[in-house]
Amino acid sequence: MATTADIRTGLIIKLENSLYSVVEFGQNKTARAAAKVWAKLKGVDNSRTIEHTGTPGIPSSRFA
């Protein structure tokens, strides 16, 4: 299972039985809230573009 620390531009992941390539990713840390990591994903076998947000360091089944 992948964690949010494994996300890199160009990485191909399997998500919901489709392959997606990471187009961009980043993190957002505010003073009072927990940090968030986001990734914009483009479908390899389809033309869908989706965005996923998660908490850093916590394994995400969506990034498996």
CA 30/CA 43 separation, integer angstroms: 30
Task: Name the 3-class secondary structure at 54.
Answer: strand
Where are the extended beta strands (E) located within the chain?
Answer: 12-15, 18-28, 36-43, 49-54
Domain membership of residue 63 (yes or no) is no
As for how many domains the chain has, the answer is: 1
Whole-number pLDDT of residue 43: 94
Question: Where residue 38 sits, what CATH number does that domain have?
Answer: 2.30.30.30
Model confidence at 64, pLDDT cuts 50, 70, 90, reads very low
Provide the domain limits for residue 28.
4-58
Domain membership of residue 9 (yes or no) is yes
Give per-residue pLDDT as tens, 8-57.
899 998 888 889 999 999 988 888 888 888 889 999 988 899 998 877 76
Q: Is the pTM of this model over 0.95?
A: no
